[in-house]
Amino acid sequence: MLSLAVLVSGGGTNLQALIDAIRQNKLPGVSIEVVISNKPEAYALVRAKQAGIRTELILKKDYESRQAFGDALLGLLKKYNVDLVVLAGCLFIIPEQVIQGYKNRIINIHPSLIPAFCGNGFYGLKVHEAALARGVKITGATVHFVDEGCDTGPIILQKPVEVFEDDTAETLQKRVMEEAEWIILPEAVRLISENRVHVRDSRVYIDRT
């Protein structure tokens, strides 16, 4: 059994993709033990409750230091016996002790083909605005392991998506979600649950046999 914690801050459509994949028996042996949010109003929390998944709120302002916030997050992950942490629209920075404690056991979904349009400040619609401003013809999404940097960890899966001339950031965001994010995030979780994802020298190798 692979126990997940899904960390969210917003709408939770990627969380929903995981919930749906589990319901459709596409992720045998995977369960979402807890959904953790830093925003009380995140719609992702409603989705979790509707699916009968336990939820936790973790607010940075309740802790006097980054260290204390990190310890609290680690405590939650231990409490739910989490094997894999999935950042699905999680807009808070994961403290270092959590990254070290869960080395190559934290994954993130990013709405571009890394290394394009990633790093500090590239989140949400800003990623798609930057892609349109640069005039790229192809964008996409990336699932990667989380390391101490911002969007710098080993890449697990990527999927390209075409950019149309009449796209707005909103239409492009929607297409990237539908055609890439909601597909590769559950797929990455499945590959990890089947023990087929290996990291060597900062590169991911997938056992396809």
Question: Hey, which residues are catalytic here?
Answer: 110
**Whole-number Å distance between alpha carbons of 48 and 197:** 27
Asked whether position 186 contacts ligand GRF by CB under 6 A, the answer is no
Binding to ligand GRF in span 116-145, by CB under 6 A: 124
- Of 44 and 73, the one with the shorter C-beta distance to ligand GRF is 44
- Judged by CB under 6 A, the number of residues near ligand GRF is 13
Shortest Å distance, C-beta 67 to ligand GRF? 25
Q: What is the DSSP letter of 158?
A: E
DSSP three-state, residue 34 = strand
Among 77, 82, 109, 172, interactor with ligand GRF by CB under 6 A: 109
**Whole-number Å distance between alpha carbons of 162 and 136:** 9
Helices within the chain (DSSP H only): 13-23, 43-50, 66-79, 96-101, 125-134, 169-176, 182-193
Give the residue nearest to ligand GRF (CB): 89
Asked whether position 161 contacts ligand GRF by CB under 6 A, the answer is no
Shortest Å distance, C-beta 81 to ligand GRF? 24
Shortest Å distance, C-beta 207 to ligand GRF? 26
Among 4, 10, 37, 139, interactor with ligand GRF by CB under 6 A: 10
Among 3, 11, 72, 80, interactor with ligand GRF by CB under 6 A: 11
Structure tokens belonging to residue 110: 């990013």
**What does the per-residue mask of binding to ligand GRF show for 42-71, with x meaning CB under 6 A?**
--x---------------------------
Asked whether position 181 contacts ligand GRF by CB under 6 A, the answer is yes
**Whole-number Å distance between alpha carbons of 2 and 5:** 10
Other C-beta atoms closer than 10 Å to the C-beta of 42 total 23
Cis, bond preceding 154 (omega within 30 deg of 0): no
**Whole-number Å distance between alpha carbons of 198 and 104:** 9
Other C-beta atoms closer than 10 Å to the C-beta of 189 total 27
- Of 14 and 193, the one with the shorter C-beta distance to ligand GRF is 14
Shortest Å distance, C-beta 89 to ligand GRF? 3
